[in-house]
Amino acid sequence: MRLFCTLTFTIVCLTTSVASAKHPVAGWFHHFDSHYARNKAWPEPYVYQDRAAAVAPLGVMVNNGWRHQNLIGPHNFKPDTTELNESGLLKVRWIVTQAPVQRRTVFVERGMTHDETAARMRDVQAAADRFLVGPEVADVRETHITEYGWSGDYADLISTKFRASTGDPRLPAESGSFDVD
């Protein structure tokens, strides 16, 4: 037994000595306590990174949703001009006065040419500055995203035609009698 203990002690001393520090087993023994502590507390060090990775896409989605909400597209301009129509003016007014303070950025959809985009930006900036009080300057940015949907006139036309094609409400004809005893 004494021989076994002596050999074991000698092997451990040789594998953990400074002279044999380049030996792979020595590195494992050197970091044994840190590996043990990490394994013992296993889920905790990684939970926060996993949570952050799971929540990160939601922040991107919220930002994209607000960018779409605050987008001034071609339906907000008068036909064949870069001047805002009434719905465009009301939308710009809502963005710069009613939207949450951190979300008061007006996004303008790019036009077909650089000149058209610059004119849209100029007109939207002027409209936004008109609704602000004091020395504030509206944050107006151009964006590559496009507005989906259609103009209010087209939506009103569809709604009007739907109401016109709907028949009058009628009860079904009496098909039998109901006796109450």
Angle, helices 114-131 vs 86-97, to 10°: value is: 60
- Give me the mean pLDDT over the 37-61 stretch: 86
Tell me if 142 sits within 8 A of 117, measured CB to CB: yes
Q: Largest alpha-carbon pair distance within the chain?
A: 109
Per-residue pLDDT for 19 more than 60? no
User: How far apart are alpha carbons 161 and 163 in whole angstroms?
Assistant: 5
Round to whole Å and give the CA distance between 90 and 15: 78
pLDDT over 60 at 20, yes or no:
no
How many residues are present in the chain? 181
In 3-state terms, what secondary structure has residue 139?
strand
Q: Could you report the per-residue pLDDT of 102-117, keeping only the tens digit for each?
A: 999 999 999 999 999 9
Cα 17 to Cα 22: distance, rounded to the nearest angstrom: 10
- Confidence (pLDDT) at 24: 64
Element (H, E) at 34: helix 32-40
Task: Report yes or no: 141 and 148 within 8 Å, Cβ to Cβ.
Answer: no
How do the domains of the chain map onto residue ranges? 80-146
**Residue 17, pLDDT above cutoff 60:** no
pTM: 0.63
